[in-house]
Amino acid sequence: MRRLAVGGFVVLAVVLVLAPGALAATGARHAAALAARHATAAGTAAARLGAGPTYAISGHVLDYDGTGVAGALVNWGWWDDGNYNFGGTNMPLLSSSGTDADGLFSFANVGGISGSDDLDVFYPQSDSGPWLREFDTWNNDFSSNNDSAGYSYAARPGKVDLSITAAPSTPLVWVWAGSTGTGFARSRVPLTVDAGVASGTAFAMPSTCDAVAVGYENSYGEVTAAAESLASESVAAGATATTPVVIDWSQAQSASLAGPACQHSGKPGTVVKLNMRKWPVDEQAGFVGWFDTGVEVPYGATYTSTGGSSPISLRIPAAAAAGSLYEIETWRSDAEASNMNLWTFYQVCTFKSSASAIHHGKSIRLSGKVPAGAGTVTIYSSRKVYGQPATLAAKGWVKVGSCKLKARKFAGGLLHPKHTTWYVAKYPGYAFPAFTSVVKVTVR
């Protein structure tokens, strides 16, 4: 799979869709991440581009029916030795403007590398039906196709019908439908499930569509399992492929953090295990992390399947900010055609005691910073060595206090442990309720 430099997707968007109440906050977080990512990438791009020739380009963003799409974000950039260089965007970041009422966009000073130039379109969110989120074309040539007055570039999708066998009952999937070396369309598709077969229609990159991947999102907005078809289908802009794409969900591959979601949380520097399941023999995966500021964390680790299920260890960066949501992205790295793309979240937090060791009769105060702006933090204790609780009921732990969050920070009341004690805190979380890392206080 060819990845943009997320977001997840840099996929300039691995767009996360959480539970309905979290959608607005999620959009704001990703807008902020996109802004930070663009600011960093733009500086790097300018340095790489140097003083080469520039061009004026323009185009239309269209829907399936050929109608212009207002308010779409269009990015331009280019690929250089497998690295993506962001050049610019038509949308002032964190504002609501984009393409005009007719779906037109234009750029005055565009550079790149002939044949490796990229246009990446993000469509406005739809509240019903299939939602085309991203339309990305990779093999443009700005140096020869730059008639700005003629609006040379057109982003208009085709469609493919889906038939997903052994399907779960979850009603929504993300679908990536693309062509090797050309690009892809990514859409969020509602499904109709009948006798274990799910049906729906997804947007696709017009061309010979040779890869369609389907990923079910969970209630936290993660996509930790996906299945794909690498069969070729002819797709035209504004038309639906004649043959449905059949995907067998029983062959779905997954990459998910070990343990329950309430344990996908802890301090910076924590080593986590990502369980890789049902990847075919010799198939390879790559990994990257994302701070919620938009900064990419490349992992040198790769995974080559032996046909079974096995974990790979990845470290949450020591530089990860407490109170942030860290994203781990996994993709198939040994097949350019593949659109397999998975992501999961780790909530970064801190939890500490005012003293790690005290004399009998002295007191401590526990405090921390977590990825949740408001709500109640519950503090638990145990005289036995436990890891993080496996359920939100915190079996085996005793509640010893609670406190309110303020700007993601909390501080409990004074505690007077009589024996060496372990503590943990439960917090509401940004993406899901979770526990902090465990803290030990030694009583002498």
Answer for the pair 279, 304: CB distance below 8 angstroms, yes or no.
no
pLDDT of residue 85: 85
pLDDT of residue 147: 79
**Band of the pLDDT at 128, cuts 50, 70, 90?**
confident
14-27 pLDDT tens trace: 222 223 233 333 33
246-290 pLDDT tens trace: 999 999 999 999 999 999 999 999 999 999 999 999 999 999 999
pLDDT of residue 84: 80
Question: Can you list the positions of beta strands (E) in 354-438?
Answer: 357-358, 364-369, 376-382, 398-404, 409-415, 421-427, 434-435
Q: All domains of the chain, ordered by start, with CATH? A: 20-347 (no CATH), 353-443 (2.60.40)
Rg over CA atoms, the chain: 24
Region of 400 (left: φ > 0; alpha: ψ -120 to 50; beta: rest) is: alpha
**Band of the pLDDT at 76, cuts 50, 70, 90?**
very high
How buried is 335 (Cβ within 10 angstroms: 0-12 exposed, 13-18 middle, 19+ buried)? middle
Bridging pattern class, strands 153-155 and 55-61 = parallel
Residue 136, strand partner residues: 120, 184
For residue 251, the 8-state DSSP code is: G
- How large is the average pLDDT for residues 302-306? 92
Tokens of 69: 């799409």
Cα(68)–Cα(174) distance, rounded to whole angstroms? 24
If you average pLDDT over every residue of the chain, what do you get? 87
The alpha carbon dihedral of 97, 102, 103, 106 has a sign of negative
The whole model's pTM is what?
Answer: 0.85
